Amino acid sequence: MKRRQSRLVALVVAFFWCGWMLFAGTSKATLEHLKEAKAAGVPAKSCDYCHVDKLPKKDDGKHDPNERGKWLLAEKDKRHAKAVDGGWLKDYKEGK
């Protein structure tokens, strides 16, 4: 009986982990994006250059993009890129 419960628990954990990996966002902001932006001559000083907050909220871990960040995500889709490139920010026009 105990062996059956162990298998069930392992199965539930495996399904949960697979679901987590499947639905986890694939596009994440990193310090690398900030470095790319600075290398391209963009005056980015912190994460709030492209995000609403400097750090993700503790309760849900979200890091919502501002208008500049939304533009970057749209560029990623438009360019069919796997990830955002901070250097693209040199092409961003304010108020667009």
pLDDT tens-digit readout, 74-92: 999 999 999 999 999 999 9
Structure tokens given for 59 = 């309760």
Do 42 and 71 touch, CB atoms closer than 8 A?
A: no
Q: What is the pLDDT of residue 71?
A: 94
Say which residue, 71 or 22, is predicted with more confidence.
71
pTM higher than 0.85:
no
Q: What is the pLDDT of residue 33?
A: 86
Structure tokens given for 37 = 């932006």
pLDDT tens-digit readout, 6-51: 777 777 776 665 555 555 544 466 788 889 999 999 998 888 888 8
Question: Domain ranges in the chain?
Answer: 26-91
Q: What is the pLDDT of residue 17?
A: 59
Instruction: Report d(CA 20, CA 37) in Å as an integer.
Output: 30
Identify residue 71 by its one-letter amino acid code: W
